[in-house]
Amino acid sequence: MATDYQAEIQSLRKTFQKISSVTDPEALRARISDLTEQSAAPDLWDDQEKAQAVTSKLSHAQSELDRLERMETAIDDLGALKDMADEEAASDPETARELYADIDGELANVAAALSELEIRTLLSGKYDERDAVVTIRSGAGGVDAADFAHTLQRMYLRWAERRGYSAKVLDTSYAEEAGIKSTTFEISAPYAYGTLSVEAGTHRLVRISPFDNQGRRQTSFAAVEV
């Protein structure tokens, strides 16, 4: 069954319009204008704390607007690419197939970026847009719990790496046999705190223990603080 590219692009456009209605690009532009004016004040840096707050807010607002504009452009480009492929379909089928293959790839990329943008619109807490400091401590379960804590650390660090986020391990206390007793690391990225805060709490793992000679089932616990 042929892909209905027009319907998929239209669906992406509708999702983008919903996001735009929440984020309000015009309000962002007005905010950027106001913050830019504040940042140009000659006495701004007389108050270091205020100056840093203004420049941070300006950077964040500009980043949000740039992200929205890039997304809108990407969707428009998909529409133009689809029209080009349709025009080539009759006269040059091979070129059309290549263009449709490009559309398939871009559809997936735009959909993923749009999904992330949609999630960000739900993160409106006071600290959601900030970096995150994560601490993991092994709990009940002995060596299995220490191994579980280490697994969680690797999982979060790989999650950050796959997304191109900056991650820095601040401290790690290793267990004697395997795994870790505790670890603290920082993930620097927009909305890192809001995204990771849902991970806070006690995590449980039930598995056949690789450290038990009799292959018994072991329940392990680890605490995550964000």
Class of the 5-122 domain?
Answer: mainly alpha
Whether residue 46 is predicted with pLDDT greater than 70 in this model: the reply is yes
Instruction: Encode pLDDT of 55-81 as tens digits.
Output: 888 887 888 899 899 999 999 999 999
pLDDT attached to residue 61: 86
**CATH fold of 132-225:** Alpha-Beta Plaits (3.30.70)
**Structure-model confidence comparison of residues 39 and 60, the more confident one:** 39
CATH 3.30.70.1660 residue ranges of the chain are: 132-225
Instruction: Encode pLDDT of 15-35 as tens digits.
Output: 999 889 888 899 999 999 999
pLDDT attached to residue 2: 52
CATH 1.20.58.410 residue ranges of the chain are: 5-122
Dihedral sign from CA coordinates of 49, 52, 55, 60: negative
Measured at the CA of 125, the angle between CA 122 and CA 128, to 5 degrees, comes to 85
Contacts of 174 (CB under 8 A, 6+ apart): 180, 181
Whether residue 117 is predicted with pLDDT greater than 90 in this model: the reply is no
Mean of the per-residue pLDDT values for the chain? 90
Mean pLDDT within 75-90: 91
pLDDT attached to residue 69: 93
Measured at the CA of 110, the angle between CA 105 and CA 116, to 5 degrees, comes to 135
pLDDT attached to residue 15: 93
Tokens read off for 30: 């007005």
Distance CA 175, CA 143 (A): 8
Can you name the residues that pair with 171 across neighbouring β-strands? 184
Distance CA 200, CA 134 (A): 9
- Give 82-146 as a DSSP string: HHHHHHHHHH-HHHHHHHHHHHHHHHHHHHHHHHHHHHHHH--STTTTS-EEEEEEE-SSHHHHH
Mean pLDDT within 176-196: 90
CA-based R_g, the chain, Å:
24
Helix (H) or strand (E) holding 168: strand 166-174
Mean pLDDT within 76-102: 90
Residues of the chain with pLDDT > 70, as a percent, come to 99
Whether residue 1 is predicted with pLDDT greater than 50 in this model: the reply is no
Distance CA 113, CA 91 (A): 34
Contacts of 118 (CB under 8 A, 6+ apart): 15, 18, 19
C-alpha distance from residue 151 to each of 139, 180, 182 (Å): 14, 9, 12
CA–chain centroid gap for 79, Å, is 26
Contacts of 165 (CB under 8 A, 6+ apart): 187, 188, 189, 192
